[in-house]
Amino acid sequence: MEVIIQPNKETAAHLVARIVAHDLRASPHLVLGLATGKTMECVYRHLVCMRADKGLDFSLCETFNLDEYVGLFPNDPNSYRHYMNHHLFRHVNIDMRNTHLPNGMAADLDAECRAYEALIKRCGGIDLQLLGIGKAGHIGFNEPGSALQSRTRVKALTPTTLKQNAPMFGGEEHMPRRAVTMGVGTIIEARRCILLATGRSKAEVLAQAVEGPITSMVTASALQLHPRCTVVVDEEAATMLKEKEYYRWIFENEPEWEFYR
Ligand code: GLP
């Protein structure tokens, strides 16, 4: 795991967007794994600007989102399909047929999960997976206790997650109780993972994920097993990391990061 500490959430998101842009230019057929949540909105804003100002080309790439709520239609303002259309897809030259999210309205959700896994495989696997981290330590909706080898499936949302996301729904009572999510095993098969965490509220859980033991109780900690995982954080989210100076030294001295310093 490499940890990059940036001064604030804007610079952290910009760095993530630059990595995506770099990979997309190098491989126009990139298979991109996408995440939702407030943290990612900044990244998508930067990518939309790069499309407008620098002609960043999305026309050949394929995208797979991590998760979707069960029971929401795609046009529901709280669905992740709606989020993606609103924050990214509608503003760039992506072919909508190449954008994939699990269908949380499928009559047979187990079949939907199997089909999603099969589609990822058919596209050659995910090249670059973007990730946020929930206050429950989750990636996707892999709530505490999720098997580290889990695949795409339906998960019940924990009280921490319900509380975190309830404001978007105008209260917990209006929130779906379950979601379809890529499994931890699905996520860590991506060739490269980038986790972005910003803000003081993520500091504790981020330190557990990065410097704590690998445990299904904090599913983001499974990223420690990944051969190519970069964690990008702002100063606030980095507050509880013990090895901050070491991470800074690596970022300053590692030739791979020269272009991003
Ligand atoms: C949801 C998503 C996660 C995301 C998390 C963080 O729970 N399923 O993939 O990482 O939100 O959200 P935020 O960025 O709003 O803190």
Taking the centre of ligand 1 as the mean of its atom positions, its distance from the CA of residue 118, in whole angstroms, is: 24
CB 164 within 8 A of CB 132: no
Q: Which atom of ligand 1 is nearest to the CA of 199?
A: 16
Task: Determine whether 82 is exposed, middle or buried from the number of CB atoms within 10 Å of its CB (0-12, 13-18, 19+).
Answer: middle
Q: Which atom of ligand 1 is nearest to the CA of 140?
A: 9
Predicted local confidence at residue 66, as pLDDT: 98
Helix-helix angle 80-87:38-54, to 10 degrees: 30
The stretch 5-10 carries a mean pLDDT of 98
In this structure, which amino acid lies at residue 225? L
Helices H, strands E: what count in the chain? 8, 10
Band (pLDDT 50/70/90 cuts) for residue 78 is very high
Structure tokens given for 33: 């794994």
Tens-digit pLDDT profile for residues 148-171? 999 999 999 999 999 999 999 999
- pTM, 2 dp: 0.97
